[in-house]
Chain A
Amino acid sequence: MSLSTDDRRTQGSPASPPADKDGAARGQVRVSTKVPLRHRLRRDRTLLLMTLPAMLLLLVFAYIPLAGNVVAFQDYDPYIADNAFQAIMQSPWVGLEWFQQMVNDRLFWSALGNTLTIFLLQLTLFFPVPVLLALFINSFVRPRVRAVAQAILYLPHFFSWVLVITVFQQMFGGAGLIAQTLRENGYEGFDLMTDPGLFKFLITFEMIWKDAGWGVIVFLAALASVSTELYEASAMDGANRWRRMWHVTLPALRPVVALLLVLQVGNALTVGFEQILLQRTAVGPGASEVLDTYVWNVGITNGGFSYAAAVGIVKGIFGLLLVLGANKVAHLMGEQGVYKK
């Protein structure tokens, strides 16, 4: 993982201002630009070869399909020709018609609103949980206890969404365990699974249950690389538990948190396709339709490929701007972010 270099550096001077690290790194880059390209290619050929399979995948599954976005400017009918390429050639151009339709489409705005609300909920409710869990697990001294706690927390990550939602339905549904127990004891039952008002919290809750444990791994790795000497030294200086966490542990996590935050923001408009699609009918599209499910329903289910592509393009551009923005903020905070200039 690329984190290891960060961590090692952090380990060296955990509390030092990050500007130093950046300065050093920038220096290296500047040196390398002076070497001619040919030499660099020769020098790095092993590394380049290693990236080749990933590059190919990216090319085939990301860059080439990008060209398909032209259908957003057409009235695309995939069935008028034998293959997609010919169909694109034969479909009539309609300019920005689909984008205009999108602007006037109540359902699109509702999907966008839901997406952003869910993103903000995930950011505030989901994101801190793995950090807290990591600190919690890290506080166990006995490795055995730690391993068991970790295993229990990881496990739900390997459940499929169908299973997770079924478990939730069985627990919190109108005929679920809790509602039924309440009824048997003379109280009113309740139905968490079909309440549109609570839906966004529900899916965040499901996500925390399923994936928070998994998210802990990265933070635990970062924590493991903090030298115990630092703790000992600060303890000698009279720092109590809280101060040690504040001055030693948290600064060690900071670069990782910043990196993940930027990545998370970049995915802001991707808030859980399968999970939401599976529960869409339970609460209705008004509360649950997000951009991804909207694209799916318009494009794949109803066959409106062009319109779906237009929505997809807007989503992509918006996502890109968010990543760049978040990265900028990370730089301003003195962190490395996803890339450096």
Chain B
Amino acid sequence: MTPNSPSAPSRRRFLASSVVVAAAVGGGMPLLTACGGGSGGSKNEGATTGKKLKDILPAYVPSKAVTPDIPSRNGSADGFTTALPADQLAVSVPKKLGKGSEISIMAPLWGTSPGEGNAYWTAMDEAAGVKVKWQNQDGNVYGQKLGAVLASSAVPDAVVVPGWELGGKIPSAIANKFADLGPYLSGDKVKAYPNLAAIPTGAWQRGIFAGQLRGLPMPAEATPNITPFYRADIFEEKGYEVPTTTQEFYDLCKEINAPKSKVWACSDMTWSAWVFFGVLPEKPYYWKLVDGKLVNRYETPEYLEALEWSRSLYSAGFVHPDAKAETGDMRTTFSSGNVLMYNADISDWYAATAVQRLDKPDFRMGAMDFFAHDGGDPVIYEAAPSNIWCFVSKKADKQTIEDILALANFTAAPYGSKEQRLRAYGLEGTHHTLKDGVLVKNEQGNNEVFATYEYVATSKPYRAYPDYPDVAKGVIEWQQRQGAHLKKPLFHGMQIQEPNRYTELNAQFEALEKDIVRGRKKVSDMQQQVSDWRTKGGDKLRDWYKKLLDETGESAS
């Protein structure tokens, strides 16, 4: 009865690709200068702020191990275009911290598990001084597995929870089933784990659930992960201009669209439209202050405008039918030239290029700069500093917790270190080779070395593509250009738990958004739903947030 991946909500599939590459905020996080502390309601509701927050957060000691080729700016990642030979790599974990505990870890996996006892896992365990028993679950339906596992009495020692799976009662599970890591990490204690101490403060703040530091973070860039891509090679060949207004975008689509020769202008562009029209982010950062009153994302005119515009692309027939049906893999459709524009996680830039250049050396894609729909500077809301966390079971004993932290310290090693090389590329000779500064994974490398260990914790965000330096440069420069327009949403960076009775209030919106852009429902249906939302609890939720805002102050400054 397990549904297969095509059924998974698209947001999950969308974000899924983002975790393939580690990432995080650039510069330090602004310290919260909030007044008050905590907020009303039950013990799990609200957000942790003020002095209590300061007491909980680990100290920040930036790593000096490596210098990036393109340093972070405007909230971008650090960029790396080169790979050092193994003997020149920095050592970030001089002494093995693990004491050999056996640790069970449940984590999502997008791919096929390499199976126990493979050379990569063995080498990682050996180097970190632990013995991990992986419980990998299909990432596309991870939320469904997660709910069941957390409800059972057999919670693994460590569990990875992505931010987009925090719906329903999962926050209650986090508060009830997972340990407080504060006694091991708060303040200067984190210095026992130098790589964890180098994780930016903002990423840690999002790991505070129900008043305690529970999540080991996977930091993310402040710039948006959703990127509007276009086929730079084809654009050049045909003389298409990259659009700078939504009207230009529409006109360009008209020019490109040729279903008869199997070319559609674009995929679903709703995610980009949110930025073109300056729409607020998703829960819990979905409020803005207008004349002292909180207004929700769903109530803003720009939300409806973005839907209307996305809908116009569908009704004009510019959108590929597979995107309409939400089947197939758009990255492949884009790579084969059946659509010329699509939006996806920024890691697709490398993922698509690496595959295509094997037999099409001229393949080039680019990311268009976000623009305001009428051509001005865009309003880009800053992304949360971390959105995937690894939690430790409440039942784990002290030794197990310390060994999990030892492992996290190992996996959070920065790019350019011996530890990171092992985690990201496996063993030299067995999984990869390094020739003329180019790291190449072999077949065994591709089958065994992929995202598993990094979910435990990663360093501050970086993008390292030594095999395609042009991609690394393109990605970082795009992030830095977008970063110039960043704006912090209200409550930015806080981990907010809404009261239980409101957690499902907005559950129906995504489906209706899809219905509207695809022409199955009218924009006015959304207005109806918004007024339902208000009466069913939206207005009460607004009051709740207002109270929270009064207590915490505006973090957006």
Indicate if A283 sits at the interface (CB-CB under 8 A): yes
Q: What residues on B are CB-neighbors of A282 within 8 Å?
A: 324-327
On whether the beta carbons of A194 and B518 are closer than 8 Å, the reply is yes
Closest to A160 in B: B4
On whether the beta carbons of B511 and A166 are closer than 8 Å, the reply is no
On whether the beta carbons of B322 and A175 are closer than 8 Å, the reply is yes
A247 to chain B, nearest CB (A): 44
- A77-B172, A278-B6 in contact; A284/B515 too (CB < 8 A)? yes
Closest to A300 in B: B144
Across the interface, B7 reaches (CB within 8 A) one of A82, A196, A277, namely A277
Listed stretches A34-42, A123-131, A183-191; interface member = A183-191
Indicate if B523 sits at the interface (CB-CB under 8 A): no
Across the interface, B321 reaches (CB within 8 A) one of A191, A274, A303, A305, namely A191
Across the interface, A303 reaches (CB within 8 A) one of B147, B260, B322, B327, namely B147
Q: What residues on B are CB-neighbors of A78 within 8 Å?
A: 147, 150-151, 169, 173
On whether the beta carbons of A166 and B514 are closer than 8 Å, the reply is no
Prevailing SS type, chain A contact patch: helix
Q: Which of A160-176 contact B (CB under 8 A)?
A: 160-162, 165-166, 169, 173-176
On whether the beta carbons of B520 and A277 are closer than 8 Å, the reply is no
Indicate if B183 sits at the interface (CB-CB under 8 A): no
Q: What residues on B are CB-neighbors of A79 within 8 Å?
A: 150-151, 169, 172-173, 176-177
- A84-B151, A284-B518 in contact; A169/B4 too (CB < 8 A)? no
Q: Which of B153-212 contact A (CB under 8 A)?
A: 153, 167-170, 172-173, 176-177
On whether the beta carbons of B325 and A174 are closer than 8 Å, the reply is yes
Q: What residues on B are CB-neighbors of A303 within 8 Å?
A: 147, 167-170, 503-504
Cα A204 to Cα B150 in complex, Å, equals 37
Among A80, A166, A273, the one with the most B-chain Cβ atoms within 10 Å of its Cβ is A80
Indicate if A285 sits at the interface (CB-CB under 8 A): yes
Q: What residues on A are CB-neighbors of B518 within 8 Å?
A: 194, 284
On whether the beta carbons of B10 and A175 are closer than 8 Å, the reply is no
On whether the beta carbons of A162 and B4 are closer than 8 Å, the reply is yes
Q: What residues on B are CB-neighbors of A305 within 8 Å?
A: 169
Across the interface, B176 reaches (CB within 8 A) one of A80, A160, A196, namely A80
Q: What residues on A are CB-neighbors of B504 within 8 Å?
A: 302-304
Indicate if A180 sits at the interface (CB-CB under 8 A): yes
On whether the beta carbons of A301 and B167 are closer than 8 Å, the reply is yes
On whether the beta carbons of B321 and A281 are closer than 8 Å, the reply is no
Q: Which of A44-84 contact B (CB under 8 A)?
A: 77-84
Indicate if A102 sits at the interface (CB-CB under 8 A): no
On whether the beta carbons of B321 and A278 are closer than 8 Å, the reply is no
A-B contact pairs, 15 of them (CB 8 A): A79-B151, A173-B322, A173-B327, A174-B321, A184-B260, A194-B518, A281-B6, A281-B7, A281-B326, A281-B514, A284-B514, A286-B520, A301-B167, A303-B503, A305-B169
Give chain A's interface residues, CB within 8 Å of chain B.
Answer: 77-84, 87, 107, 160-162, 165-166, 169, 173-176, 179-180, 183-184, 189, 191, 193-194, 196, 273-274, 277-278, 280-287, 300-305
Give chain B's interface residues, CB within 8 Å of chain A.
Answer: 1, 3-4, 6-7, 9-10, 143-144, 147, 150-153, 167-170, 172-173, 176-177, 259-260, 262, 264, 320-322, 324-328, 338, 500, 503-504, 507-508, 511, 514-515, 518, 520-521
Q: Please name 17 further chain A to chain B contacts, defined as beta carbons within 8 Å, in addition to the given A78-B173, A83-B153, A194-B324, sorted by A numbering.
A: A79-B169, A84-B152, A173-B327, A180-B262, A183-B259, A191-B324, A191-B325, A194-B321, A278-B3, A282-B326, A284-B511, A284-B514, A286-B515, A301-B144, A302-B507, A303-B168, A303-B503
